[in-house]
């Protein structure tokens, strides 16, 4: 894979590329497994996800969050990831996703490492995330990056709770 660049997505074209990747991520989850489809449809029905995508620059605004976009040397969008503050001490990672073309090439690790570094720079002392139990590659990545299992850090419906894993990392 050619040189990868990470951009703080603030320009309209960068945010549109991130939105396209986020919709691809949603589609991936819908087709990945029955439980991932059910979770996605429960937490992110189309109307709610559309509103969330419109609010990306607000929900993940500096200095309490960031939206990152990975591109190759040709400018092709390869992946994205973002953080936002849960409280003064805790930053949450959201929607880390890489395209099929970039999978297994270290792009997700590059994005996550930058998100961790930025959260630490912003003064957070802890970073958290959740993932589906069926996303084994994501779990391996988070563990390699120093995340450890933790209890849920926000309210989760009891029927969904057994299907999710929660991770944290001190900064």
Q: Which domains does the chain have, with CATH numbers?
A: 5-170 (3.40.630.30)
- In the predicted model, is pLDDT for residue 167 greater than 70? yes
* Model pLDDT, residue 145: 98
H or E segment and range at residue 41: helix 34-43
Please give the share of the chain, as a percent, with pLDDT higher than 90.
91
- In the predicted model, is pLDDT for residue 64 greater than 70? yes
**Distance separating alpha carbons of residues 45 and 59, to the nearest angstrom:** 18
* Model pLDDT, residue 1: 55
Residue pair 96/139 in contact (Cβ under 8 Å)? The answer is no
- In the predicted model, is pLDDT for residue 2 greater than 80? no
Other beta carbons within 10 angstroms of residue 41's beta carbon come to: 14
The confidence band for 71, taking pLDDT boundaries of 50, 70 and 90, is very high
* Model pLDDT, residue 13: 96
The confidence band for 58, taking pLDDT boundaries of 50, 70 and 90, is confident
* Model pLDDT, residue 159: 87
**Distance separating alpha carbons of residues 116 and 95, to the nearest angstrom:** 14
The confidence band for 19, taking pLDDT boundaries of 50, 70 and 90, is very high
**Distance separating alpha carbons of residues 73 and 4, to the nearest angstrom:** 6
Q: What is the mean pLDDT of residues 13-31?
A: 97
Q: List the helix and strand counts (H, then E) for the chain.
A: 6, 7
Other beta carbons within 10 angstroms of residue 92's beta carbon come to: 23
What pairs with residue 69 in β-bridges?
7, 80
Q: What is the mean pLDDT of residues 84-113?
A: 96
């Amino acid at each position: 894979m050619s040189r990868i660049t990470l951009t703080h997505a603030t320009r309209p074209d960068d945010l549109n590329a991130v939105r396209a990747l986020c919709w691809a991520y949603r589609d991936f989850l819908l087709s990945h497994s029955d439980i991932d489809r059910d979770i996605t449809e429960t937490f992110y029905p189309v109307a709610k996800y559309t509103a969330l995508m419109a609010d990306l620059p607000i929900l993940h605004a500096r200095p309490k969050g960031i939206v990152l976009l990975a591109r190759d040397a040709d400018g092709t969008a390869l992946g994205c990831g973002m953080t936002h503050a849960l409280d003064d001490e805790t930053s949450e990672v959201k929607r880390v996703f890489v395209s099929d073309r970039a999978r297994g090439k270290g792009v997700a690790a590059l994005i996550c490492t930058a998100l961790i570094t930025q959260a630490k720079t912003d003064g957070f002392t802890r970073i958290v995330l959740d993932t589906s139990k069926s996303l084994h590659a994501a779990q391996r990545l988070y563990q390699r990056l120093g995340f450890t299992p933790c209890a849920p850090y926000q309210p989760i419906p009891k029927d969904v709770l057994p299907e999710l894993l929660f991770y944290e990392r001190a900064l």
